[in-house]
Structure 1
Amino acid sequence: MRLIFQKLVLAFMQLWLWWSSSIHVDAADDSLNPGDTINSSLHPLYSKSNKYLLAFIKIGGQVDSFPYLAIMSEYDNAIVWDANQEQSIDDSDAVLSLNLSGVLKIEYASVKKPIILYSPPQPINNTVATLLDTGNFVLQHLHPNGTNTLLWQSFDYPTNTLIPTMKLGVNHKTGHRWLLFSQLTYGSATRGAFSLEWEPREQELMIRRRGKVCWKSGKVRNNRFENIPEDAQGVLKYSIVSNGDEDTFSFTSKNESHTRRWFLSDTGQLSCNYNEGDVARADLCYGYNNTEGGCQRWQDIPKCRIPGDVFTKKILRSNYQNVTADENENISYSDCEAACWSDCYCNGFKEFSNDGNYIVEATVSGEDIYLLENKGNIIPHHQGTKRRIWISTGIATTLLIICASILCLAIKKRKHVLQEKKRKEMSLIEDLGNDLNKKYGLKVLDYTLVVAATNEFSSENKLGQGGFGPVYKGTLPTGEEVAIKRLARSSTQGMVEFKNELTLICELQHMNLVQLLGCCIHEEEKILIYDYMSNKSLDFYLFDCTRSKLLDWNRRFSIIKGIAQGLLYLHKYSRLKVIHRDLKASNILLDENMNPKISDFGMARMFTQQDSISNTNRVVGTYGYMSPEYAMEGIFSTKSDVYSFGVLLLEIVSGRKNTSFYDDDHPLNLVGHVWELWKDDKYFELVDPSLNEVFDHEEVQRCIHIGLLCVEHYANDRPTMSDIILMLTSKSPIVSLPQKPAFYVQSRNYFFYSRNDYFYLNIYVLILKESKMTTFT
């Protein structure tokens, strides 16, 4: 009988254990496993080193307050995080559970719908929720290979306390923001008016009240923020991360014996624990005081408020007359303060009851009144306001009159200076036109005639865009077709260049130079009229894969000799020695018989035949055609044009631009490419494929040889134009052998060869900038 009774008792105990385990499973010391729970009165979680505990705790410490799931510091019993701050629990039987599907939730009897902290998109086995020694409560997915995946963490949802390694900022991948929110009141975990945020663009902390910035920390320098007192940040080490994934701020404590933290109060005060002082006093940041402690000036400061106005707690005799009450339970001390501050008829406010509700007082009376007083100027509000308005108005009016007078005088003087400058310029232009007409028979056309000839400078008549402005085709009343070059008003070519081109072209007469027919000067307009070249410019054909076929070798060789003859005339046989300084394919025009004519003398310089060299601080021209001594030192001579002619000659042979001639295997410029072919006796590979190998091999070899001689580094090593014409027209072998050329670009590092020296491209550009040289066109 006893044996039977013992068996029944044993069976009953096993049944009770099975039933009770199905209802409630105790959690491990620091973790919740699937099926574990924590109730509102027992079984808290402790972190591994007992630094933090997770339990249901009553915020504010009142006996009748509702519990919240919170994390508490074991060192001083301070709550650093709570889960359900927007939804209080009114039961004593609340339970935190992690179910077998990986759902982390808070449940209580009176409400059927639980508070879900995390729910996976699909059920997940092998999860664990752990309270770490950092104070972070994390939910992880455990994989068979021993790795873990973070599913959820309390650090992603800060409340009003920032502890070490907790982040403020933004996650760029998800858009999630980390920021602190104050509580509405001390006894309520509901979000209040203030927030602490990290501003990634300015890299500083800021406190907002209802979205309005009222405090900023300033920049961080040497691990110290400008507007945070030293005693509040002495033992902290800041970490700032800024990349494509996130922009965040966090801190750690250099002293591990005590956990440092920042706490944002319901009044906007950001304090540091262990009596280390306040981090920020946003509660003292009124709209005007932007000079101390990081406080920011507001845009909408009431005119009745002045510096020195602050709210001070006073105990006065009760008088509840003229009381305006706000029955909204979701307002805090700071909300009442802001409401009274913005209302010029409000002198103070008081707490309506102990549960955090406040009312605004229209008359200063009542117990524990927060009274608006002036700690600086003791001028009554209305008198002070009127006085300040009158004084400010008087000062502003006086300053406005003074500034307006000065501005009017400055405008009048500037207008007079501009008019005088324009008058002198127009007089100079008019005298110049009359002089050129008398001396050279140059036609000075009326502006209305030029406008009519170009159909009002229509786009249909536009031939191209020169370095100093557009060129149009025009038809004069006589039926003669002309090219009209209109100097752009924004062009760098001024009166000096314009006069230079006029005088120079009038002096020059040669079959391989463009002929100037006339000019037009009208107010700010400066216009040149040339012979119309029906076949446009050399680059129009040379660098186009289709039109280049119109230039056979005989025509190209004829163009080369014609350009050389024109340069020889400029350098030797004209009355004045002329250096063109901008010889390139676009400045070689072709007449109806494809004869070349050198044009665009806006950059040319004139010398007597005895002079041979000059120097300038203003380098002008086109990159790729300038000689090294001109580009780097501003020294130019006839040998500068020879260098440009050499580059142009090689372009005519190859049909390619100097600055765009690259090979995939050997990324060289045209000059470097020619040199490589010359060394390997493969120079016929340079010839333009559009010639279909129909060319005079001896003439091509001679042209390439001459081109390499023209681009020698030192000017004295280059031939003269007389020598070049002799070599072009003679059948005798050329005696001189070319050396490695200047500006020899090799490999992807782009360096320049100067016989024994290599100069990096960025050094070259730096030299040009330091020499105050102009930008290349």
Structure 2
Amino acid sequence: MVTSSTALFLLYYTFSALHSTSSTDTITHSNSLRDGDTIVSNGGTFALGFFSPPNSQHRYIGIWYNKIPIQTVVWVANRNNPINTSSPLLKIDDRSNLAIFNGNQTTPVWSTNLSLPITQKTSSSSLFYKLLDSGNLVLYDQNRGENRGASPVFLWQSFDDPTDTFLAGMKLGLNLTSGAKWSLTSPNGEFLFELKRTGSPEFYLKKGSNLIWRSGTWNGRSWSGVPEMTRGFIFNYSFVDGPDEIYITYSVYNKSILSRFVLDDLGAVHRWTWVEGSHRWTSFWSAPRDACDEYGQCGRFGMCNSSNNNGLICSCLPGFAPKSPRDWYLRDGSQGCVRKREVLCGEGGEGEGFLKLEKVKIPDGANARVDMSLGIKDCEVECRNNCSCTGYAAADVTGEGSGCITWFGDLIDIREYTDGGQDLFLRVDAIELENSMRTSKSSFLTKKKLLLLVVLLVVGILILMSVMYYLFKRTKRRGLARRERVQMQLLSLSNSDSYKGSSPCPKEYEEANANFELPFFDLDDVMVATENFSSNNKLGSGGFGSVYKGRLSDGREIAVKRLSRSSGQGTNEFKNEVVLIARLQHRNLVQILGCCVEKEEKMLVYEYMPNKSLDFFLFDPTKSTLLDWPRRYEIILGIARGVLYLHQDSRLRIIHRDLKASNILLDAEMNPKISDFGMARIFESKQTQANTNRVVGTYGYMAPEYAMDGQFSIKSDVFSFGVLLLEIISGKKNNGYYREDPLMNMIKHAWELWKDGRPLELVDPSLGNSYPEQDVLKCIKVGILCVQENAKDRPTMSSVIVMLGNEATIPPVLKQPAFVLTTNPKYSDSSTSGTGSRSINEMSTTIVEGR
């Protein structure tokens, strides 16, 4: 019923929870466990019950993690005696043993097999089995246990009978009094992980009688063959070597972390940690991991290094040579190494000495002796005075090192580490010792030269940094001076006669000007980026000047708006864009990267829009086919969000005053970005309307009250948005030429079609029939609402966005819109400005191609 599949396990677990004793963590004489029932530890970490391994029909009693979706079993009671019946039972038998019965059979398949005398203090009714939050199943005596306020007394625990998993709080090792072993066995029974006490205690991984891997000896903080243990930021290991017991145990600093040490069927040990975010077990550490982890890889007196670049991982210890070179270079280390020369071990140990090998896994301790009463210096004397001693090391490397391990006979299974391990002192002859000292001296001189070179290099770097710092400070001072000059120039623009008095709220405008932060580009950098304003890089032009494509030294593509020296209008536009758009941040507004004011040049640097402007696609019969209805609808929504940001959500309340298709740029994903803030105006937060004696904008997009009387407000932008919306639907310009009526504009045409009940005839023919009629009708209604003659009848942009999302919010009856500024089609995309509120005597053209 339970499989490795997460979904099946969850179904199984849910079913079990409904038909189980999961409300308790104990098994007593009065309650037993049937298939489908579970008990859960008090903290909910572990559960006990019947389960089946993946791809098996056999039933077992096991303990698994209760709170994770992947069933992970940590202990199995009857691993060698599976149950094949459909009605197994777990209960306490008459001898107070926990036993598993197969169906109605009277002989248990498995039991704790205890011999418990029934006394006055211990009776069958006072015993109970409890599942702890550590994953340990414990037999308690209630009369002598925790219920009487004394320390818990247990008579049996599952931790004393481990299977393949080592949990926090368990012991792995030996009970020297009873002879019991705490070891791990792989699920298939082929591999064993156990403590070997002969010589220096250490753990061995074995397959039958063959050694596969060993942990190395305990050095006071870790096993010498497990250098990762020195990074104990999660686990706290303890090694106990006492007269009655010798074992290792561990705890987890953070109790919320689930971690287990497992011996698998492939003969590897793993430290697994549960990662909640990814819902899986992650291997924190494993062994064996490489060829050097294999026991005795390089034979007797050989040393293994898996990081050697020449591919030969084996080498002989100093003073030793390969016994069989041919086999050695075949990387068969079974032959190992022999001494080059005999050590002249005489009285006092003359003619020989010890070499220190750093960061190694010290040799197999099977033929070693341990004496914790000796220090490292006494250890050397002890080894020197015994000619059979081949090497020594500290038994405890914490502090200055204490305890003594001495080896007699062959040294086997040594490996080098780049990080970790400990020092091993190897007995060598006098010649080898002298060669080593000569090499050390040469190395010392080399290091001395290197140190001198490093000192000179550091001094040189400091001098270079000082020079660079001086140049940086000088450049910064120049840059600040230039920035001040630029700001003064910008301030002078606002005080010029052509600009003075045109701002409806000079206080907010000058405050924005005084506090703006915008990167300044050097003229040389801009010229390099645009290839000296090459005609090949020219994107378009207007009354203000030209726009060029460029590429900065860091690879970014840019658009450079270069004001023409002869442009009277461009100076004010420049001032507006520097102060306004630099402070605006929205996904549907074009981003300004900086400006350049140097000599007579005034330039703005924008992000580059690879798909040019909306009119480039919209009014071209061929390119308009690239704008299907979903794309047009997203463009409409994007423009609406951008205008709403200007009117309501930005720090400065801004009226754009020149919304049109050529000022809507498209990025690589065809997302719309509003551009050209040269004619924009700042409003006070409570201001609703303003007047101007200089009408600027574009024929066909200007609201009636603005074009005729010079009055503008946020509703002026709403009118322009409505015109733009109808243009996006129809694919035609508002002031385009209509053959049946040369004075007809888009607004009038849309209204006539709406009155006649033929509004869908407005739709761009390039869309064919591939558009949702309801969405298009909704957009036409919103467009007509936005171009109402009376500004009060037009919705705000926040209402526009609501109506685009919910047709039910649109008024059911539409009024006739405004039919204003019908003019000669040849001026259909011209920006205007005037000195009077009604007369238009100045004209310039804005950008006609995307940036």
Do the structures match in fold with TM over 0.5? no
TM-score of the superposition, structure 2-length normalised? 0.38
TM-score of the superposition, structure 1-length normalised? 0.41
